[in-house]
Chains A and B, each alone.
Chain A
Amino acid sequence: MTLMPNETRRGFLGLIGAGIALTAMPAQALDTAQASSLVQKSLDEVYAVINSGQPSAQMYKSFEAIFARYADVDIIARSALGPAARQASPAEFEAYKQAFQGYIGRKYGKRFREFVGSKIEVTGARPVKSFFAVTSVAYLKGRSPMEVEWHVSDKSGKSRYFNIIIEGVNMLASERAEVGAMLARRKGDMAGLTADLQKAG
C-alpha cells in the first residue's frame, strides 16, 4: 500500500533527541566523548519519563520541557521556518517559536508507547563539519534495529542537539517541509501559522 519502509522511524525519537545536551558545560570545546555522553544522559532522562507511568498529557509536557531545556529550539525553529524567519519581527518569531516547541512536544511525544520496553545504545561519535554526529542503534520491540544519528553543536553557546536522523530520515528536513506547507496554506501569514501550530501535533 502507501506504506513506506520507514514511516515509523522518526516519531518519538525526535523527543528523545531533545534530551541531548549539557546544562553546565565546561569551558572547553565539545569533543566526541562529551557529545556521546550528552546523548546517553538525555536518553536516560527521556526513558525515565517513559517509565514513570504518568498520564499521557502530563508526559507530553515533560517531553516538551526536556526539548526546551536541551535542544537548540531557536535554531531548529528558525531552520524549519526557512527564509521567512528573516522577515519575521522578533515578537512574531518568539510567538512562533513557543508554538513550534509545543507542537514538537505533542507530535513526537504521542509516540512514546512505541518506546516502552525498548533500548537505545550509543555506538560512537565523529566530527562532521562544525558539529558532532553521535551514532546509536535503537532496539524496538518486534522491529529490526534502527540506526539513529544525533547532531550536536555548541554554536549556540551551549551544547545542544539540533537534528536527529533515523535510518536516513532527517527531522530538520521533515519539519522544514511541514512548516513550509503550513505557512503556504496561510499565504505567508506568521500569526496564522503560529495559531495553527498551537493546535497541531
Chain B
Amino acid sequence: MILAATAIAGLAACSGNPGAEGINDPYEPMNRQVHAFNRGLDANVIKPATSGMSSGGDKPGVGSYALQGIGNFGSNLAQPGKALNHVLQGRAEPAVKTTFRFLVNSTLGLAGFLDPATADFALPEQDTDFGQTLAVWGVPEGAYLELPLLGPSTERDTVGRVVDLVIDPMHAVLNLDEWLIGLGARAVSKAGERARFSDSVDSILHESADSYAQTRLIWLQHRRHELGEEGDEIDPYAE
C-alpha cells in the first residue's frame, strides 16, 4: 500500500500542474480516443441493452426489483473493502457502522439481496474507496484519465481501483469464482443506473457540444466535492 502511494505520488509529480479551471489533463489526446470508444460503446451496446432495465415512472416493474436485489447483493460484498478503507483513513465510526451494515444485510438481508440495514437500522452505505484513502494520506490527484469501459478517473483513483481489488477482505472468505460473481453483480447494477439516469447520461454523452470536456469537468467537480478538495467559488461579478 505504501508502495502504491509512493508510485502514485511519483506519477502525479510527473504529470504537471493543473491548467485552466483546475484541470490537469496532459494525456488529453489519448483520453479523447478512449472517450470516443466509450461513447460509441454506450450508444451501440450499453444504451440499447439497458433501455429495458428500468421501467421508470411511478410503477416499478418486477425487473427493477430484481435489479435492485442484484445491486444490493453486489454492493453488500463491497462493504468489507469499504470498512477497511475507512480504517485506513482513520475514521472509526464509519468503519464500525459499515461493518454492522455488512453483518445485518448478510444475515437479515438474505445474503445482501435486501437492505434492512438502511431501512430499519439507520445504517446507510457510507461510500469510500482506496482513491479516497490516498487522498486522505495526502497523495495528489495526478492527471485526469478516461479509462476504457470504466470511464472518468485520475491517476490517483486508477491506482485506488487496482488496490481496492487486491486488498478486498472478501478474498479471505470467497473463492475466485464467488468473488467474481460479486464483481459482476456490481457491474449489472451499474448498467441499471445507465437506464435510470438515461436522460442525464444522454444529455452529457450524446447531446453536448464537447462531450469529452463536459464529462471531464462534471466528473472532476463531483469527485473533488466527495473528497473535500473542491476549488474556489466562481464570482462572475469580480471578473
Contact = CB atoms under 8 A, between A and B. Distances in A.
Interface stretch (B75-83, B102-110, B175-183, B199-207): B199-207
B208 A130 contact: no
A51 interface: no
A200 B218 CA distance: 19
A153 to B, nearest CB: 6
A188 interface: no
B238 A78 contact: no
A177 interface: yes
A111 interface: yes
B188 to A, nearest CB: 11
A130 B201 contact: no
Nearest to B21: A173
A177 B217 contact: yes
Contact of A178 (B194, B210, B222): B210
A151 B205 CA distance: 27
Interface residues of B, number: 49
B237 A1 contact: no
Contacts of B197: 3, 7-8
Contact of A177 (B200, B203, B210, B230): B210
B213 A169 contact: no
Given A1-B46, A7-B204, A168 B226 contact: yes
Interface in A1-25: 1-11
Interface in A146-178: 151, 153, 155, 162-163, 167-170, 172-174, 176-178
Nearest to B197: A8
Given A79-B239, A111-B200, A200-B209, 12 more contacts: A1-B190, A2-B201, A3-B197, A4-B152, A5-B222, A6-B219, A9-B200, A76-B236, A155-B237, A168-B226, A169-B221, A178-B210
